[in-house]
């Protein structure tokens, strides 16, 4: 049987740059991760493509996916549903490939219950002021949405304690290097790979 891939979960407050760090990570050739595209009921932002950035769904469609247990986790965040398709994650891990989720903290805690062996990384802004600047300069959201996202961000930062690693996103390239180092180290953890070498001893 093939060794299962690693499930990597990246969370962090809204505006911290999870999307940017994820895209930078996926553009690098020395790490191979498989991105799980989420479902959401949020309307697409300009430039977002269905099936690439998200699978955009109506509330009815999303609720039907919940009812059919098609989601590994889901959460309501600032008035919209977001969730991870369970089939893609299971299939990809079974193929021995590493799966990367970029999700908010309530969802991450559900994944933690289902996959305690997952790798949970929290992306941290250098400061709250910097975070507010980033949310404001994205320019795609109204003042009300910005305030809601800042409130959510404060609560999200308090959840940092539930994660295995904290990575500061001071510079995207540096944050990527840290995440790659963590993934490499996790692949060498004795409890993950002991079986492989036990088998080697049995054969020889």
Residues that bind ligand 5GP (CB under 6 A): 14, 18, 38, 42, 73, 75, 77, 82-84, 102-104, 107
Nearest-angstrom CA–CA distance, 68 and 66? 5
CB of 143 vs ligand 5GP, minimal distance in Å: 16
82/115 with CB nearer ligand 5GP: 82
| Long-range contacts from 46-53, C-beta under 8 angstroms, 24+ separation | 46/140
Residue, CB closest to ligand 5GP = 107
* Closer CB to ligand 5GP, 55 or 192, in the complex: 55
Q: Is 71 helix (H, G, I), strand (E, B) or coil?
A: strand
Burial 189-200 (b: 16+ CB within 10 A, else e): eeeeeeeeeeee
Nearer Cβ to ligand 5GP (73/186):
73
Shortest distance (Å) from residue 103 CB to ligand 5GP: 3
Distance (Å, rounded) from C-alpha 58 to C-alpha 43?
9
| Nearer to ligand 5GP among residue 85 and residue 192 (C-beta) | 85
Name every residue whose Cβ is closer than 8 Å to that of residue 17 and which is 6 or more positions away in sequence.
123, 125, 134, 169, 172, 175
The token pair at 140 is 């795609």
Q: Where are the alpha helices (DSSP H) in 74-119?
A: 86-94, 105-114
In angstroms, what is the minimal distance from the CB of 193 to ligand 5GP? 29
Tell me if 66 sits within 8 A of 107, measured CB to CB.
Answer: no
- Smaller CB separation from ligand 5GP, 86 or 192: 86
Nearer to ligand 5GP, 138 or 187 (CB): 138
Alpha-carbon distance of 89 to 4, in angstroms, equals 11
The single-letter DSSP state of residue 168 is E
Query: Nearest distance from residue 19's CB to ligand 5GP, in Å?
Result: 7
């Amino acid at each position: 049987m093939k060794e299962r891939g690693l499930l990597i979960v990246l969370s962090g407050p809204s505006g911290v740059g999870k999307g940017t760090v994820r895209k930078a990570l996926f553009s690098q050739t020395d790490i191979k991760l498989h991105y799980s595209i989420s479902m959401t009921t949020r309307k697409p932002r300009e430039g977002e493509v269905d099936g690439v950035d998200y699978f955009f769904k109506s509330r009815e469609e999303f609720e039907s996916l919940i009812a059919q247990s098609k989601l590994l986790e889901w959460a309501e965040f600032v008035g919209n549903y977001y969730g991870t398709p369970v089939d893609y994650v299971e299939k990809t891990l079974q193929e021995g490939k590493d799966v990367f989720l970029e999700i908010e903290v309530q969802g991450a805690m559900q994944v933690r219950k289902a996959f305690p062996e997952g790798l949970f990384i929290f992306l941290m802004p250098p400061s709250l002021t910097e975070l507010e600047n980033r949310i404001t300069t994205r320019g795609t959201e109204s003042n009300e949405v910005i305030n809601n996202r800042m409130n959510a961000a404060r609560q999200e930062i308090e959840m940092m304690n539930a994660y295995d690693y904290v990575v500061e996103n001071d510079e995207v390239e540096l944050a990527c290097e840290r995440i790659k180092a963590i993934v490499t180290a996790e692949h060498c953890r004795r409890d993950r790979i002991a079986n492989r070498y036990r088998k080697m001893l049995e054969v020889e």
